[in-house]
Amino acid sequence: MTSQDSSSALSATAPLPKQRVKMSAARRREAIEGILYTSPWIIGFLVFIAGPLLASLYLSFTKYNVLRPAKFIGLTNYIFAFTNDPLFLPSIGRTFYFALASVPLAMIGSLFVAILLNQKLVGTTVWRTMYFLPTLTPIVAAALLWRWMLNPDVGLINFLLDKIGIEGPGWLSSTTWAIPSLVLMGLWASVGGSRMIIFLAGLQDVPTEMLEAAEIDGAGTWAKFWRITLPMITPTVFFNLVLGIIFALRTFDIAFVATAGGPARATWFISLHIYQNAFTSFDMGYASALAWVFLLLILLLTLVQFRLSGRWVYYAGER
């Protein structure tokens, strides 16, 4: 290469450092703008979620009743929960009983309603709206309505059962029927809600070509659903299952309004136990410990679900 060629090459590459400086400055400006735009969410997360979360973790190792400064006591709250609290373990058992009773029924009911509403019939939009309306009812109003309907003496349900010769149970006033009553109330409020909408979206993503090909091969309605539709929507089923279990275990409002944990603590869920210790007894340290134990249980259960999902969840992009 000649000296002239070398000088021209150097002159051609000389402006590059300035160009790189300008590009990095532009990217830095974009980054600053991005941080400014997201700063309200970041501040809200730190103040209202991360901050209280870390504070509750610290308080779980203390004795704190709001009126006096927190006193560090180590693992005493956790040890007391598993050894001396007569309500802790039974409340967890009732919570899981409610979840096991409500989640499968809610999943099946929501999927069934989604299949019905996925049929291309006249008035489908109206039916979708009608099924979704119960979820818009405030939970307090729904609980009060169902308390009247399930009243063993003057309630509508037992009145109708009596008309066909069936003696109605005690419902919310019975230790045996209290949790099934809450399950019934929860199903009314949730079957046609967001879970159904998610199932409906999953059903609409099933390729119609596969269903038509199966029909040409002689597959019936049940065979098409079991062999094609259900495997194709297993990611949607898994998503609804994880969220459904978490929400069921967190159930508080419907039990608090309808039964207040009764009768005879038959509906005393872990959420009510945490609430009672925190805002009735004002034992914030012990309530924080209970909340963290409950969080770890939910986290463990969710991890188990993800671990087992590989055996039955089908993703179209996987080979």
141-189 pLDDT, tens digit each: 999 999 999 999 899 999 999 999 999 999 999 999 999 999 999 998 8
Q: Which of 213-217, 229-233, 235-239 has the lowest mean pLDDT?
A: 213-217
Residue 3 lies in a domain: no
Say whether both 44 and 124 belong to one domain: no
Specify the pTM: 0.86
Q: Helices (DSSP H) in 118-233: which residue ranges?
A: 124-132, 139-149, 156-163, 178-190, 194-204, 208-216, 221-224, 230-232
* pLDDT tens track for 225-236: 999 999 999 999
User: 28 and 89 in one domain?
Assistant: no
What is the distance between the alpha carbons of residues 145 and 115, in angstroms, rounded to a whole number? 29
Same domain, 108 and 242: yes
Residues 107 and 217 placed together within one structural domain of the fold = yes
The values of phi and psi at residue 286, to 5°, are -70, -40
Cα(206)–Cα(68) distance, integer angstroms: 60
Query: What's the rounded Cα separation, in Å, for the pair 32 and 156?
Result: 61
Closest CA to 238 of 318, 302, 317: 302
Please provide the DSSP assignment of 187-215 as one string.
HHHHTTSHHHHHHHHHHHTS-HHHHHHHH
- The reply to whether 213 and 150 lie within a common domain is yes
Looking at 76, 99, 126, which one is the last position of a domain? Answer: 76
Q: Is residue 5, in this structure, part of any structural domain at all?
A: no
Question: Does residue 144 share a domain with residue 19?
Answer: no
Closest CA to 85 of 253, 248, 293, 313: 293
Residue 4 lies in a domain: no
The helix/strand count (H/E) of the chain reads as: 17, 2
Domain range enclosing 235: 82-309
Task: Please tell me whether residues 62 and 192 are part of one structural domain.
Answer: no
229 and 289 together in one domain = yes
- Alpha-carbon distance 112 to 117, whole Å? 9
Q: Indicate if 169 and 303 belong to the same structural domain.
A: yes
- Asked if 226 and 258 sit in the same domain, the reply is yes
Asked if 207 and 125 touch (Cβ cutoff 8 Å), the reply is no
